[in-house]
Amino acid sequence: MNKNAKIYIAGHMGLVGSAIVRELKKQGYANLVYKTRKELDLLDPVAVSKFFAEEKPEYIFLAAAKVGGIMANKNYPADFIYENLTIQMNIINNSYLNKAKKLLFLGSSCIYPRMCPQPIKEEYLLTSELEPSNKAYAVAKIAGIVACQSYNQQYGTNFISVMPTNLYGPNDNFDLETSHVLPAMIRKFHDAKVNNKSEMTLWGTGVAQREFLHVDDLANACVFLMNNYNDSEIVNIGTGEDLSIKELAKMIKDVVGYKGKINWDSTKPDGTPRKLLDVSKLNNLGWKYKIKLSDGLKTTYEYFKSLNL
Ligand SMILES: NC(=O)c1ccc[n+]([C@@H]2O[C@H](COP(=O)([O-])OP(=O)(O)OC[C@H]3O[C@@H](n4cnc5c(N)ncnc54)[C@H](OP(=O)(O)O)[C@@H]3O)[C@@H](O)[C@H]2O)c1
């Protein structure tokens, strides 16, 4: 991408999209295009066609999506499959029709089978059963990957797909109804601390293993891949290191400064037992993460406090 290329960031208000905008600005990209949901509803095919025909973006970061944690996925599977399929197909098809030079599609590590070997290599996609709790979301994301590959195959486009691990950082969603595990824990520990609770409860048993990447690292990787990767095969983005949910809870408890007791509600689901990405492909392309979890948690907690929720 040259520094004056027209770059559209879909979903620029979100965790990922806002980090990509920050990263692009930091690197001196000067011709960025983005619209709020009010200005451009990505579920509206007519509005999306009109936007692309008028703006003709050369590069597209597709970071708009309906995203949520276990509870949201369980309660709203129809919304997850409908909205994600519609948003991504509107953008992918119009990128092709308007001759975009390149598109980067944001998938997710939850596209991989529930029980696949660890760490998860890119080639494990579609080798066995998906995790049932977020199947609708995962199937929509897999359709997005296959769409990018199909357009490349049939039309010679350059649409790439990346699969980030669990992300966290500024602009994360701290709403307990819809949030992911890490921001939900920050909020729960913070609330327990300010309300002087002697104990608090977290979902599951705490034994599940998870990997976390700071969203600023993810954004840096996305810009790197936009500039350095031209292949239909998916690329994992992560740290390649994981920890148990119990260990994560201990780290967040310390960062927040909560002194009480943690109870684990084992009647609630743990989700996939382990989810660690094999990031050797990305490392071999020349990219590695920089922000340590201990540092990222501190800055994310500072951000959370600044929201005054
Ligand atoms: N968060 C993670 O841990 C994680 C991990 C792996 C992959 N990813 C992937 O990264 C991508 C972005 O996730 P995120 O965490 O940044 O999600 P997010 O914070 O919820 O952001 C999604 C963005 O999409 C926008 N959007 C949704 N529906 C729209 C519509 N109909 N019209 C216009 N804009 C719409 C939202 O707009 P509003 O601001 O108006 O709601 C929001 O700005 C997703 O594809 C996700 O699968 C995320």
Domains and CATH numbers, the chain: 7-169+212-241+275-291 (3.40.50.720)
Q: How far is the CA of 259 from the centre of ligand 1 (A)?
A: 34
User: Does any ligand 1 atom lie closer than 6 A to the CB of residue 16?
Assistant: yes
Q: Does any ligand 1 atom lie closer than 6 A to the CB of residue 136?
A: no
One pLDDT digit (tens) per residue for the chain, 309 residues: 999 999 999 999 999 999 999 999 999 999 999 999 999 999 999 999 999 999 999 999 999 999 987 788 989 999 999 999 999 999 999 999 999 999 999 999 989 998 889 999 999 999 999 988 889 999 999 999 999 999 999 999 999 999 999 999 999 999 988 888 999 999 999 999 999 999 999 999 999 999 999 999 999 999 999 999 999 999 999 999 999 999 999 999 999 999 999 999 999 888 778 889 999 999 999 999 999 999 999 999 999 999 998
Check residue 4 and report its DSSP letter: T
Of all atoms in ligand 1, which is nearest to the CA of residue 18?
A: 16
For ligand 1, say whether the CB of 11 is within 6 Å of any of its atoms.
yes
Residue 177 is predicted with a pLDDT of: 82
Name the active-site residue from 8, 59, 137, 229. 137
SS3 content of the chain, % helix, strand, coil (to 5): 45, 15, 40
CA of 288 to the centre of ligand 1 (A): 24
Mean pLDDT for the chain?
96
Calpha distance 139→137 (Å, rounded): 6
**137 included as an active-site residue:** yes
Number of Cβ within 10 Å of residue 306's Cβ equals 9
Helix then strand count (H, E) for the chain reads 10, 13
Largest CA distance in the chain: 61
For ligand 1, atom 39, the nearest C-alpha belongs to: 13
Q: Indicate whether residue 285 lines ligand 1 (CB < 6 A).
A: no
| Residues 123 and 183 sit within 8 Å (Cβ to Cβ) | no
Does ligand 1 have an atom closer than 6 angstroms to the CB of 300? Answer: no
Task: Tell how far the Cα of 10 is from the centroid of ligand 1, in angstroms.
Answer: 9
